[in-house]
Structure 1
Amino acid sequence: MLNAEKTIGNLIDKQNVSFISSVDGMGFPNTKAMLAPRKREGIRIFYFTTNTSSMRVGQYRENQNACIYFCDKRFYRGVMLRGTMEVLEDETSRQMIWQEGDTIYYPQGVHDPDYCVLKFTAIDGRYYSKFHSEVFQIS
């Protein structure tokens, strides 16, 4: 049986790219490559930065259903996590994941109105490795 927290946590921490998916107004999935999450709490909660004006933020505000995916192409393994995505614009969340150099994306700094935080909360996942996949619950 998979030790999900350790195995998947290690896989995620080694990736520079993540993929996030939202659901559009017609019910179709929309997937986008993103930088790795800025912060994670185990394999249940993940925080990303993005533009408040983005299409994705609009979709999450309409429908919080989401998934995120991490892929280790070297060993051909990956993990999909399903859950919900919240759009956070409060001061605490913004400060929590702000990094030096973010002004390249958000010129007005941590208070830029086009800067927000995406908080993903997983409910379950599917891990693939060595021609085998396994579904697991996240508590």
Structure 2
Amino acid sequence: MRDVEKTIGNLIDKQGVAFISSIDDDGFPNTKAMLPPRKREGIKYFYFSTNTSSMRVSQYRKNPKACIYFCDRRFFRGVMLKGTMEVLEDNESKEMIWREGDTMYYSEGVHDPDYCVLRFTAQEGRYYSNFKSEQFTVV
């Protein structure tokens, strides 16, 4: 891969679904599909919106180890990023990714106590394409 950030970023930006994984109390991975990240900074930081009361938020608070995965089904390629997930509840973070129409999910608006931001910080990844995969470090 010549330009890791460009190749991975292009793949991510074209996906309508992101898969995020957390670790449960028994040490097993739990994966769920989510809407794509609301914001990304390169391939290092990803921001998702979710409910503060969700099981996933509870798991990340206990164990921040996380993984996110994006899959391009058309070309049978994908990228897995390993890192940590933070639960952000400060106003600046919430306002940063708030979108018109979000009151459908968070009736009290941007300051709804059941609305928070998940910030994923990637450390390393694995890219799969053309029946082979390559490991890379995220800087």
Please give the TM-score of this superposition, normalised by the length of structure 2: 0.99
The ranges of structure 1 where at least 4 consecutive aligned residues each deviate by more than 6 angstroms after the TM superposition are none
User: How far apart are residue 93 of structure 1 and its match?
Assistant: 0.1
Mind listing any 5+ residue stretches in structure 2 that lack a counterpart?
none
Residue in structure 2 matched with residue 74 of structure 1 by the alignment: 74
Query: 5+ unaligned residues in a row in structure 1: which ranges?
Result: none
Match of 2:78, SS state, is: strand
Task: Say if 2:108 is the partner of 1:131.
Answer: no
Equivalent-residue separation in structure 1 for 2:14 and 2:109 (angstroms):
28
Q: Provide, for residues 68-93 of structure 1, a one-character-per-residue CA deviation record: whole Å limited to 9, x for no partner.
A: 00000000000000000000000000
Number of the residue aligned with 2:22: 22
Please report the RMSD computed on the Cα atoms of aligned residues, expressed in angstroms. 0.6
1:98 paired residue number? 98
Q: Percent identity?
A: 74
Please report the TM-score for the alignment, with normalisation by the length of structure 1. 0.99
- In structure 2, the partner of 1:122 is 122
For 1:114 and 1:38, how far apart are their aligned partners in 2? 17
Q: How big is the shift at 1:45? A: 0.2
Q: Deviations over 1:88-120 (max 9, x none)?
A: 000000000000000010010001010000000
* Whole-angstrom CA distance in 1 between matches of 2:131 and 2:2: 14
Structure-2 separation of matches of 1:78 and 1:31: 16
Letter in 1 for 2:138: I
- Once residues 115 and 48 of structure 1 are traced to their aligned partners in structure 2, the CA distance between those partners, rounded to angstroms, is 11
Residue matched to 1:43: 43
